Structure formats: C-alpha cells, structure tokens
Structure 1
Amino acid sequence: MDQLSEEIRQESPWTMMFADDIVICSESREQVEENLERWRFALERRGMKVSRNKTEYMCVNEREGSGTVRLQGEEVKKVQEFKYLGSTVQSNGECGKEVKKRVQAGWNGWRKVSGVLCERKISARIKGKVYRTVVRPAMLYGLETVSLRKRQESELEVAELKMLRFSLGVTRLDRIRKEYIRGTAHVGHLGSEWSGAQVVEDSFLVGLPKLSERADRELDRELSLEELHEALQRMENGQASGIDGLPAEFYKAFWAVIGQDVLDVLRDSIRRGELPLSCRRAVLTLLPEKGDLTHRKNWRPVSLLCTDCKLLSKALASRLTKVKERLIHQDQTYCVPDRSIFDNMYLVRDLLDVSSLLGLKTGLIFLDQEKAFDRVEHDYLWKVLEAFGLNPVHWLLEEPLVYGGRLDISGVTVPALSRTLVSLGIVTLRELVNVAGSDLSRAEDLTARMGLRSLSVVNQLLHHWKSALTSEERVQLMDYQHTETGPTEDEPFPRLNIAPDLDGCAGPLLECRSKGEMDFGVMDN
C-alpha cells in the first residue's frame, strides 16, 4: 500500500490510512473530490477498487451551498458521523454519542458477568478484578482518543458507580461515599484512564531518591514496648479522645498495666494487615473556619481518633522522621528535621533585596492548595512510597487498613451491635432487661457484657431504646421494675423500634418486626 500510494499520499493529517481504509482530508470540497479521484485511479490501475457504498463524506463547519462530493459523476453519501473500529466520530467534534455508546457497552459487559458480581459469597476484591477485566475495558474502549467534557466524565463516573453499588449490594440510600465503594472493590478512579494523567503522574516519580538497605531494615523492624512508650510520652494531654473516651492521660497512668497488651494487639494487627476496630473508627466533627459559616466550605471536618490509633501512628511517624531528610527535597522546609520554615522566608526577603539593588523586575506568587491533604489519592501515595523504596511501611496504607474504617457522626455515636448482641444471646427484650435492668439503666453491666470500651456510648444507646418505647411498653417495663422477677418466657414482650436518629444515616440498628423476632440489619464485617 505504501508503494501504491507513494505518488499521491499526502502527509498526516491530510491522508491517514487504517489498513484497507483511507481518510482524505482537505480544506475545500473541490480538493477532496480531486484527491478522491486520484486515489480511485491509482487503486484501479493496480487492480483494486473503491467501494462506492461504503465510501462516506463528512463536512465540518458546513456553509450553505457547499455542494456534494462526486466520484465519477456518482454522488458520495454524506453523513454527520461515521464509525471506525467501534468508535464514533461526529462532524461537530462532540463525543456525546460515543460516551453513551460506551456506557451501554459497559452495562452489556456487566450483565454478562452479573452472576459473579452480584454473588454474595464472592469477596469484593475478586469482584473488583472481574470488573476491571471485563466491564471497564468495554466502557473505556477508544476514549483515550476523546477530549471529554466535565459533563461526559460525570456521566461515565455515575454509570460506573451504579455498577459497583449493584455489585457490592448497596444503594445510594446507604449513603456510602464513592471513595469507600471504589476502595472496597479496589477499582481506581476513572479519570486517569482516558486523560493521559498516568503518563504525567509517572514522570513525577522518576529520579526520586531511594533509601539504603540499612534504613530499609530499620523501618521494617518489629514494634517495641520502648518505642510505644516513647511515643506516648510525646503525646499532649488534654486532647479530644475518640469513640472509646480514653484520653492519652489514661494510657500514661496505666501504661505499666496495659502496655504489653497494647503492644501485642498492634503487633498482631501488623501481621494480619488489619487494625483493630477501635483504630479504624473515627468520630467526625466540624470546626468553623474564617468566613461565612452558612457556606459548607468554611467548616473543616476533624476526625477524632482513639488514642491507640494515635499511638501507633506516632511511633511509625518517628521512624519516618529519621529518614525524611534523605527523601524530601531541600526546598521543602516544613516538618523536616534540621530545617526551619523560616529558611524560605529568609530566601524571599533576599530575593526582594537583590531585585531592588539590581533594579530587576521580579514578581512573586504565593499559592495555597485548597484542602491539599484531603485531595491526595491513596493510589498515588502508594506509588510515591514505592518510588522512595519505602516498602516496609507500605502495609500501613494497605487497603484493609484504609478502606476498612468506620465513621460515626459526632453527637449520635452508635457502635456496631449486630454481631455482638447475637453472639451474646441478647436477641429479645427479656435478655436485654436481664442484663440492663428493667429500667434499662445498668449501662455498666451491658458495657461489660458486650465488651465495649465506652460507657457513654452505651448510656446513649439505652436512652435511644427507652425513648423508642410506646406508653404501653413503658408501663410494662415499670411492672417489671416493681416485681422481684424479670419477664418470663410466657410473657409477651414489648415491641421495640430501635432506630435512633442518625442525622440521615440509613439503616436501623435493631428492629422488632413481631413478637419474639428481631431484625439485626446488616452485619458488620
């Protein structure tokens, strides 16, 4: 084909060849018609032929009276779009039809493997692998050649999240964040797939400094009791505690008693790759910032973590501090040993002085990244760690630790009760009264029975349960209070609707659907 078209072929983009298909571009209809005739003559001279019924003509920014294209007097079919290799090209330069087509192709692929993706016995990780292998390639086919608008990116994003929600058995009413859904299924964000961001991203990782083997081993060593105690002593007093209500002062006062147990738990967590529940739970509260507080952006979310989680983080951060100076560029002067943030302030003043003395025209721009720490993607963070050679601490950011977290809304903190209650046999009101008393006030007993760490949370739960009772049910509980024995097997049990107000969070904690029968909702994993 190269030899055949050597005399008539123009440089790209005026002539493009796709195997036996040819695209001829020109600035006018007459030139297109002339080039088409030249190609017909060259092909027929070598025994080949132009297919008249498959040859199509498309005009961009067409003006009235632009005419038609003819081949040997026969009019060429005029179209507003044409397809090649399953991809649609529109004359107006838009790609809306192609995006809709890709979304449909994605749903077709999802339906083919829906038996696997919707099977409850299959883990989320396996479902994610199947999705990435079968569904996503079909949905993104050819989109790397398209310049997508925000609206079209959003259309693809919405379609993919619907597929992932169906696969994981959740709905929008569950109010689960899309980052958590993607993290659970191990399916990354769509953006880098079509925008070429991956190439740019990888270029940032070239030439980064690496740790020595000795430093590598130092980071990888097992946690020690001395290391945790040193980190504990550096923690400030008077800081807000997490869901368990145990501040740093408690750990400092009883470290001789609980220190070894804390160490054993954290070591076991590192070996299993999963932190305990208390380390994966946070109470989210909001702090006001400057500006109009009626705007959401002027409130800063703060996650209140338990002290044991802070203790582990501080111990590991101490290890990283010893090697940060070798890894972080010298231009970064914040939070690096032996560097001061004032170094850059001195440099700015020196620049201004030199510019003034030499009469140089100098401009300075002070940039601030909006919510910089919140916008760092974990996938990119892992790649940076690997580029630095920080593989020993990679386990800290593994998916079970990052995406296995649990969030409680401040003010209505409710622990995961389902599995605990069932395992303890507290499945009817009678068992609950036997443990918490007929007035549901013995929070200490219920706390100890369930193995929880926060008395205030259990008190709050009992308050919610009592407030959910009807007047008739309250009378029945009062009767239990005035008798020496509690409710028996033969007595009817009050119907409890245990669905406290969770500020819009979906799903009841515990519901009695009929006498003696309780629905414990979704089990926590």
Structure 2
Amino acid sequence: MKDLETQVVELQTLADSTANQGLLDSLKSKKSAIANLLGVSAQGALVRSRFMNITQMDAPSRFFFGLERKNGQRKTIYSLRTGSGSEVSDSSEIRKCAVEFYRNLFKSEWTHNPDVHSSFLSGLPQVSEADNSELAAEVTLQELHTATMSLQSGRAPGMDGLPADFYKSFTRQGFNGLGHDFNLFLMNIPNMSTSSLPAFYKSVFRVWNLLRKERRGQVDSLYWILQEPVLWGTRLDLPSWAGQDLATRLQTAGVVTLGQVVALTGPRMDDPCGLAARLGLTSVRVTQRLLEHWKQRLTGHDRLLLNSSFNQKVTDDDPFPAIFLAPDFKDCSGILMECTHLAPLDGTTGKLFYRILMKAINRTKLNKRPDTPWRRYLQLAPAARPEWRSFYKPPLSKKHADIHWRVLHGVIAVNSFVSTINPAVEDKCPYCDQRETVFHCFVSSSFTLVSVFTNCFYQMWRGFYQAVFYSGF
C-alpha cells in the first residue's frame, strides 16, 4: 500500500509536468489498485467490527455497558406534554401523567343493557349437548400421551423449564415402561436401564447411585403405600424365582405399583384371579406365590392401611417417605470413611450433600488411606483421632492454627516437595545430607522444632509428647 502511494505521487508529479498520456494511464491504473485495496481493507474492518459486536455484546465489558448506557438514555423520557398543553419534566410528574393517560385510554365505556346482551347472544351458534359433555370431561391418559408425543423436542412447554424430552421419557412408553415420577427414588436404579433418558437426567441418577439409601420409620401415608414400586423397589421386588418373563408381563400390563396390584386383587391381596388375567397367566398358583411374597414384605401397619383403603380418602399431599443418605463406599474402607452418619434427604444442606458426594466420588483414593501421615510414623492407636479443632481455640490465633493444621496433614513445602517442581532445588536437608521430608524436618534433623520444645519442657520439669503436639489430643 505504501509503495503504491509513493508511485502515485511520483507519477502525478511527472504527469503534471510532461502531460504524457502513458504516464496518465499508468497513474489511473495505480489509483484504481489503491481503491481496490482500500475497499478490501474496509470490508475487513467491517467484518472485524461485526465480530467484536458479537463477541463483546453479552460480555461484561466496557463495550457492553456503553451500549446499555446508550440504550437507557435513548429510552428515557425527559419530558411530557399534558392534556392541558403544559410541559412537565419532573420524573414523578411524568409517571403520574403517563398513568393518567393510559387510565383514560383503557377506561371501560360499557353499560349494562340486557336487551343488547340478549340480542347479541341469540344469534350465536351453540354447542350440542354431546360436544359439550366431551369438552367438559376430564382429560384422559390417552389424550395426555398423544399430546406429550406431539411436543417439539428441546423446548419447555411449561413454566418449570422441563423440556419435552423429559415428559416423553417418563411416560409409560419411556423409561422401561414404568410411568413413575417421584417414586423413582423408591427404586433400585442400578437394576434399570436409563438409556432412554436425556443426558441431564442420566447424570441425576448417576449421582443418585453414588449414595447409600436407607428408609426409616413406618409410612403413615396410604398414598405412598399405594405408590410403592413392585418392580426393582427398595421394599417390594420380584422374588428370586421369578424370571424376566414375569417382569416383562408386569411392565406390559401396566402393573408396576402396589396400588395397581391392590386394584386387581383387593385390599387384602387375596384374589389372584384378576392379576393372573391381567398378566395373561394361566397358572393362578404363580400369582398367589407372588402375592404372598409381597405381603411378607409389608408390615402390619402397611396391611392395616391397605385394608382401610376403600374407606380412606387418598391424597397426594402427604409428605414423601423419610429417606436417609450416606456415601456408598462399596468395598472400600478406612479411617476417612468411618463416622459417616446418615443424613435425611429432606433436611440435607448443600454443604453436607457436597461432602457426601466428594467422599463417594473419591472412595478409591480414600480407600485405606490414613487421616494423617503422622499416624504410622508415631504409631498412633487406631482409636486415637486428631483433634484438629482444638488448634482453633484460644490462646492460638487462626493464623497459627492454619499452620498447625498443615503440619498435621503434611502440607509443608519441604525440599523433597519443592524439588519436584523446581529442579534447581535439591531435596537435601540444609543442615545434613539426608533427604528433607516432613518427618525429617520436624523430628529427625539435627536442629528441629521438636528438640527445642523438648529442652524447654525439660527445663520446666515437664515432658513433651509429640502425639499431643501434632494431633491436638
């Protein structure tokens, strides 16, 4: 670009002095080349400007807030003219003027006139009684299923933000054909296939499988007794002698909860004929054995609630059954996995739930790992536990307590650690030729903090105990 500009200046000077036609043609071509280059540069600058608009439009940058400031100034009303012709500029007066204007604009001018009302309605077509009954009837499950399957994927049909894929997956045709909702959390999810669920809900059940669940106390709600799953449930399940064929029959027939079983067999679950006919079984004996298996799993209180099911109103407002959670360590064990109390699902805080999941996710790393590196070095008894909370009590300050906590867990920048990050640093002790570890720094070195404390305590006719110093007990 600079070379072309220099050539244009030189040609312009020569053409003005000589009036040579060849120089004029060459000057014209050079100017045309410069114009083309300027056009390309302008297009590039325009593309870059559009890119900056896209990248910085939603970012919390100076560009974004500048646009918002301009938009706010453009939308601000600085003055209004009232109906009387006067101009108001005060913000409160502007608001009053706007409210009064729209109140008068949308003021209703309707007056009650029965004759006009009757004449208007008399000529309108009317719905027949049959159509009116159909329109006023309750929505059927088939209509709900048809409407659910026609929803567009990736969009949320309601205010809850749940996408249509969620409802499609949890209908009877989805999620193993079970049709469950909240009672999914009363089931053993690892025994089920979650392949039909969206990715988000797969991750929800993946997290749920990291936990150990325990149900405590009796269920006083008839609603939740009837909602107990009879397939892969935590309380009710198929017996060991039942094969996959029986599970498939129950799914296909839509008999997946205790309430559906009770509807076919009665509140005492003593009529196997209805269930056998629903499942397409010719052997009533198999159905009778299945009912006996489920009745043995129910408590006396549960059976009493079922017997009163026809006399008691069932409502879904009852509280969810009490479920307690803890990390599922499976085959892992160790000190760091002990003292894990079960936490109630309805009372678990976010912090406690985070701690539970962190232990469950990292169980293989925590397996048989000591709670402090000093346990093996000082040969602490298994029952001895570091009381690091005592570090944060007076007269110690928080700063000293944080340092002591790092000593307890071996989080000290000794040379054996620093040398792995910085090759210029040797892993040797500055006072001897041995490798400087945490234990060497505090105990084995020729000049250690422990030796200083031991001498000080000896001068006061007291003994210094390393276990008390490091563990706080």
Q: TM-score, normalised by structure 1?
A: 0.18
Task: Say which structure, 1 or 2, has more relative contact order (CA 8 Å, 6+ apart).
Answer: 1
Bigger helix fraction: 2
Larger relative strand fraction:
1
Larger radius of gyration: 2
